[in-house]
């Protein structure tokens, strides 16, 4: 038997196996054809018999050959008589039979999203929002915590874990939230999730059926609207004003609005803060209509005048608020840890949905984070980061006002890590060209229009500043002024 082993790579027995399998699939060795004995083929190829035996054993295991009387090897009776045709090179837009969930999810051309938070080459002054100053994170402390936890990892820690998350982390979070955010919660109400997006997705799956109404702020966070639309919910958009979501526009119970997704401490993307009167009105509405409130508290730790604002959950007396907190903006996005604080009747349904989704979140980072919080390192880092962000915020506002004066309006400047800047003398149809020219000058700009269901009548830009130095901020704004 002649086998062509030239050009093949890998162990010798795999090369022999591959050559024999190709011969069978191409029809050179037909059904019931007898293959040489392992001894004869080894002699023909000048290899050891054990090498040929390994190749035959692999063919036997995969069903290409059968063994008769231990000494005879025959090609199986049912094998491909010719190589399988190559799969057609279908375009990305080709239709496939998928579920209604997948159809709804992919109706938006922005799904699946690109790596929206990755660095863009050539942008020296990238004002991308949502990126923390990862270079200033206390990496050495974090490495020591991870290494320490890894050394102490016992046998049980390498197995399956609770979908609720690491117990000490939930305890540390409950204590931190009671102290720093004025919240009323216990550790058994805390569920660890893989980023706030998983928390939103779980809320959509647990709380919404097709046809149910989901209230969102307008402008809105697409990560929420896409999740709600994917489960078949009706999006009910309520416009925001200088006080956030207009609670006077909340629908009656006959509208079947099952939840309202809000960002009361720093509305995304405008940055406005919902006052107490509207918070109480929202809670009252939820209680009267048997609806839930999903409070996304994504960046309230960074408030630059006064203490962090009280969470909506802290005002809730009827158990209507699902609170979402995240470490992506305060620590670093790759940590992929966030948490939910749930009303007690929702704990079991959310744990079931979490378990069926991914069983549990990875444990080693949870263990390190628990120690990071319990030791006080987390709050010390927040204070340093808050002071740093406040200085960068001031530098950005001063640079904008110096270069543009009355040509702009700044919103959302007292909280968070981004500003909304309205451009008074740039028409919306000209904004894309401005973004392109700025990128050519090394300045990354990001319009607010993707966060509106209908394009806004004004040109607005979101300026993230946490990941830039004060000098970079000033230079970037000066370059932008030159472009404009």
For the stretch 95-152, pLDDT in tens is 778 888 888 888 877 777 765 555 566 789 999 988 888 888 888 999 999 898 888 7
pLDDT at 283 over 80: yes
Pick the CATH number of 125-130+380-483 from 1.20.120.1200, 3.40.50.150, 3.90.1150.10, 3.10.20.30: 3.90.1150.10
Domain boundary assignment for the chain? 12-75, 125-130+380-483, 154-379
Q: What is the pTM of this model?
A: 0.84
Work out the average pLDDT over 19-23: 87
- Higher confidence at residue 67 or residue 403? 403
Residue 416 pLDDT: 80
Torsion of CA 98, 102, 107, 111, to 10 degrees: -120
Pick the CATH number of 12-75 from 3.40.50.11540, 1.10.10.10, 1.10.630.10, 2.40.30.40: 1.10.10.10
**CATH classification (class only), 154-379:** alpha beta
Q: How far is CA 262 from CA 32, 106, 267, 294, 321, in A?
A: 69, 24, 7, 6, 10
Work out the average pLDDT over 396-423: 90
Mean pLDDT of the chain: 89
Strand-strand pairing, 443-444 and 459-464: unpaired
Residue 430 pLDDT: 94
Note the pLDDT tens digit of each residue in 228-241. 999 999 999 999 99
Residue 94 pLDDT: 66
Per-residue pLDDT band at 90 (split at 50, 70, 90): low
CA 193 to chain centre: 11
pLDDT at 2 over 70: no
The three state secondary structure string of the chain is CCCCCCCCCCCHHHHHHHHHHHHHHCCCCCCCCEECCHHHHHHHHCCCHHHHHHHHHHHHHHCCEEEECCCEEEECCCCCCCCCCCCCCCCCCCCCCCCHHHHHHHCCCCCCCCCCCCCCCCCCEECCCCCCCHHHCCHHHHHHHHHHHHHHCCCHHHCCCCCCCCHHHHHHHHHHHHHHCCCCCCHHHEEEECCHHHHHHHHHHHHCCCCCEEEEEECCCHHHHHHHHHCCCEEEEEEEECCEECHHHCCCHHHCEEEEEECCCCCCCCCCCCCHHHHHHHHHHHHHHCCEEEEECCCCCCECCCCCCCCHHHHCCCCCEEEEEECCCCCCHHHCCEEEECCHHHHHHHHHHHHHHHCCCCHHHHHHHHHHHHCCHHHHHHHHHHHHHHHHHHHHHHHHHHHHHHHEEEECCCECCEEEEEECCCCHHHHHHHHHHHHHCCEECCECHHHCCCCCCCEEEEEECCCCCHHHHHHHHHHHHHHC
Per-residue pLDDT band at 157 (split at 50, 70, 90): low
Share of the chain above pLDDT 70, in %: 93
Work out the average pLDDT over 384-391: 91
Range with top average pLDDT, 115-124, 356-365, 396-405: 396-405
Residue 158 pLDDT: 76
Work out the average pLDDT over 329-337: 91
Work out the average pLDDT over 447-468: 93
**Alpha-carbon distance 337 to 211, whole Å?**
31
Note the pLDDT tens digit of each residue in 306-332. 666 789 999 999 999 999 999 998 899
Residue 155 pLDDT: 67
The lowest-confidence range among 79-88, 141-150, 299-308 is 79-88
Residue 194 pLDDT: 96
pLDDT at 279 over 80: yes
Residue with tokens 């001063």: 398
């Amino acid at each position: 038997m002649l086998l062509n082993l030239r050009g093949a790579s890998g162990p010798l027995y795999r090369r022999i196996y591959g050559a024999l399998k190709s011969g069978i699939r191409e029809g050179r060795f037909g059904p019931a054809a007898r293959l040489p004995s392992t001894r004869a083929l080894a002699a023909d190829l000048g290899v050891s018999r054990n090498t040929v035996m390994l190749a035959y054993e692999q063919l036997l295991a995969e069903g290409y050959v059968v063994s008769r009387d231990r000494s005879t090897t025959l090609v199986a009776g049912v094998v491909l008589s010719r190589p399988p045709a190559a799969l057609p090179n279908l375009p990305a837009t080709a239709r496939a039979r998928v579920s209604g969930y997948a159809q709804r999810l992919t109706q938006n051309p922005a799904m699946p999203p690109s790596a929206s938070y990755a660095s863009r080459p050539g942008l020296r002054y990238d004002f991308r929002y949502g990126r923390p100053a990862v270079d200033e994170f206390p990496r050495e402390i974090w490495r020591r915590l991870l290494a320490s936890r890894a050394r102490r990892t016992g046998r049980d820690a390498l197995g399956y874990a609770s979908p609720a998350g690491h117990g000490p982390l939930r305890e540390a979070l409950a204590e931190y939230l009671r102290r720093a955010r004025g919240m009323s919660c216990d550790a058994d109400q805390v569920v660890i999730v893989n980023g706030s997006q998983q928390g939103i997705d779980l809320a959509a799956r647990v709380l919404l059926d097709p046809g149910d109404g989901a209230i969102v702020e307008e402008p809105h966070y697409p990560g929420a609207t896409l999740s709600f639309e994917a489960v078949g919910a009706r999006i009910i958009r309520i416009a925001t004003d200088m006080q956030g979501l207009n609670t006077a526009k909340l629908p009656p119970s006959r509208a079947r609005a099952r939840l309202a997704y809000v960002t009361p401490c720093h509305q995304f993307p405008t940055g406005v803060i919902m006052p107490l009167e509207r918070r109480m009105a929202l809670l009252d509405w939820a209680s009267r209509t048997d609806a839930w409130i999903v409070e996304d508290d994504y960046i309230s730790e960074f408030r630059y005048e006064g203490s962090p604002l009280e969470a909506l959950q802290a005002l809730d007396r009827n158990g209507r608020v699902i609170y979402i907190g995240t470490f992506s903006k305060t620590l670093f996005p790759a940590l992929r840890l966030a948490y939910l604080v749930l009303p007690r009747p929702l704990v079991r349904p959310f744990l079931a949905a979490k378990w069926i989704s991914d069983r549990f979140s990875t444990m080693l980072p949870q263990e390190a984070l628990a120690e990071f919080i319990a030791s006080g390192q987390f709050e010390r880092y927040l204070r340093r980061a808050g002071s740093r962000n406040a200085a960068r915020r001031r530098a950005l506002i001063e640079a904008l006002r110096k270069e543009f004066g009355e040509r702009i309006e700044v919103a959302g400047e007292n909280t968070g890590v981004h500003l909304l800047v309205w451009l008074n003398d740039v028409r919306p149809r000209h904004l894309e060209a401005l973004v392109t020219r700025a990128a050519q000058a090394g300045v990354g700009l990001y319009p607010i229009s993707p966060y509106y269901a209908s394009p806004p009548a004004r040109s607005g830009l979101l300026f993230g500043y946490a990941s830039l130095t004060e000098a970079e901020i000033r230079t970037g704004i000066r370059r932008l002024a030159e472009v404009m």
